[in-house]
Structure 1
Amino acid sequence: MSGAPAAGDRVVRVVLVDDQDLVRTGFRMILGVEPDLQVVGEAADGAAAVALVRATAPDVVLMDVQMPGVDGLTATREVVATTCSAVVVLTTFDRDDYLFAALEAGASGFLLKNAGPEELVAAVRLVAAGEALLDPAVTRRVIERFAARPGRAARPDLLTALTEREREVLVLLARGWSNAEIAQCLVLSEATVKTHVSHLLAKLGLRDRVQAVVHAYETGLVAPGEGGPPPGG
């Protein structure tokens, strides 16, 4: 897909952070052909990334983990704490320690570098729209990690602010379902699902869908092993 975006269409501004020139070049070429995506800067280490994000205020930052000097996780923590940019952590390592460190640092998503071009483009658009990038496989690992924490008692009292519909949406969120899948299951429009998600996040004081998944399991709303695949899954 190429060409200029239509008048009035939003262009998502992206910063690329990786210590390998070839990786940044590849990402820039993939994103550069999309009319609604614009790479506004590149950095090769965490310190430069933080300075660049503050200077350019991108919508999305694609952040490598292992870099010389300031690493990507430290940079992610600083970007999330001091700017409005969303961070997607990119790595070649499918390791739980990186995954959970990235999520705890405030990343809105976690994507392996071997993801296809379409997945990369979709990830940028998804995060720019205010959603978190957490596929079902990653969701299961989040669940398993938090379910295994000792001494963690269920706290259903933390959910009293939610309506019954919002609780239903949260249950499906915790299973890793997308807005479209939730809408199909509950016979709602996607716009209505997005409204429910926004309301439940606000009521619970949560930043994004990642935190909502964790919260659902910590409160005992759902338990590991419950539920099945989304419609058609």
Structure 2
Amino acid sequence: MRPDVVRIVIVDDHPIFRSGLSRSLEDEPGFQIVGEGASAADAISLFDQHRPDIVLLDLSMPGGGHSALRVILRRDAAASVIVLTASEHDSDIAQALAEGAKGYVLKGVGVSELVNVISGVAAGDGCSASASTRDGMAGMETVKHQARALANLTPREEQILELVAAGNSNKEVARLLNLQEKTIKHNMTRILQKLKLRNRTEAAIYLREARLKK
């Protein structure tokens, strides 16, 4: 259930964007901005100080958004962090989801879409994304009902899926496992076919949802 007032911290190193976002959300009923920052250190400090319902966290900022996300979730595994990103690269989003982000939004979406994502996460609805980013998550409802499909993966395929969902590129996975990159590509094709997924972002979400059901 969403709290009557959703307390939000915004962390982004672009002052104009952050200020505009803050004003827009403050105009929405039931939202309160309790802190703003511009770096990973600010994000951690503001989280410790306010323990907000939602942290809106830029992935590209001084100190690194991924680093801040990991520290916040070590402080409180139940923390609700929504990442803001200008990147549409699957690996960036997949890594944030694998690290425990509850939602993600591409910068530039309308306020109403962001409000929907925040409300969904605050209500405990699980991983959430704006309508503008849901195209990359097509089939999400199907994914939630495919947990048993993981059992069809070989141990090697499971290992590769774990590494890919953590944000590693095919080349990085190949190096970590001492395999050729084309072998990783072949395995990823088989993994996506077995799980009826389309890309790495869906794979990361799939793995996270399956873990939550355990």
TM-score surpassing 0.5? yes
Does residue 152 (structure 1) correspond to residue 149 (structure 2)? The answer is: no
Q: Give the aligned partner of residue 7 of structure 2.
A: 13
- Superposed, which structure 2 residues align to 1:134-153 within 5 Å? 134=129, 136-140=134-138, 151-152=156-157
> In the alignment, which of 17, 21, 34 is matched to residue 28 of structure 2?
34
Deviations 1:96-133 (A, max 9, x none): 11111111111001110111110111111111111221
Partner of 1:126 in structure 2?
120
In angstroms, what is the RMSD of aligned CA positions? 3.3
Q: Does 1:212 align with 2:205?
A: no
Tell me how far apart the structure 1 counterparts of residues 212 and 89 of structure 2 sit (CA, whole Å): 22
Q: Report if the CA contact (8 A) 1:126-1:133 is conserved.
A: yes
Gap runs ≥5 in structure 2: 144-149, 159-195, 198-204
Superposed, 1:25-104 pairs within 5 Å as 25-68=19-62, 70-83=63-76, 84-104=78-98
4+ residue runs over 3 A deviation: 140-143, 146-150, 213-216
Cα–Cα, structure 1 residues 103 and 45, in superposed 2: closer, same or farther, change >3 Å? same
Query: Which residue identity does 1:77 align to in structure 2?
Result: R
* Partner SS, residue 14 of structure 1: strand
Unmatched 5+ residue regions in structure 1?
A: 1-8, 154-173, 176-207, 220-233
Residues 152 and 109 (structure 1 numbering): CA distance in 2 closer, same or farther, change over 3 Å?
Answer: same
**Distance in 2 between residues matched to 1:26 and 1:149, nearest whole Å:** 48
Q: How many angstroms apart in 1 are the aligned matches of 2:42 and 2:134?
A: 33
- Give the counterpart letter for 1:64 in structure 2: D
Deviation at residue 30 of structure 1 after TM alignment: 1.3
> Which amino acid letter does the alignment assign opposite residue 97 of structure 2?
L
Q: Report the AA paired with residue 36 of structure 1.
A: G
Pairing 1:108–2:118 present: no
Relative CO higher for 1 or 2, CA cutoff 8 Å, sep ≥ 6?
Answer: 2
Structure having the larger proportion of residues in helix: 2
Amino acid at match of 1:67: M
Q: What's the CA shift string for 1:176-206, capped at 9, x where partnerless?
A: xxxxxxxxxxxxxxxxxxxxxxxxxxxxxxx
Is the contact between residue 98 and residue 208 of structure 2 (CA under 8 Å) also seen in structure 1? no
> 2:34, 2:16 → 1: CA distance?
17
Q: Which amino acid aligns with 1:80?
A: L
Which SS does the other structure have where 2:60 is aligned? coil
Query: How many angstroms does 1:47 deviate by?
Result: 1.0
Give the TM-score taking structure 1 as reference length.
0.58
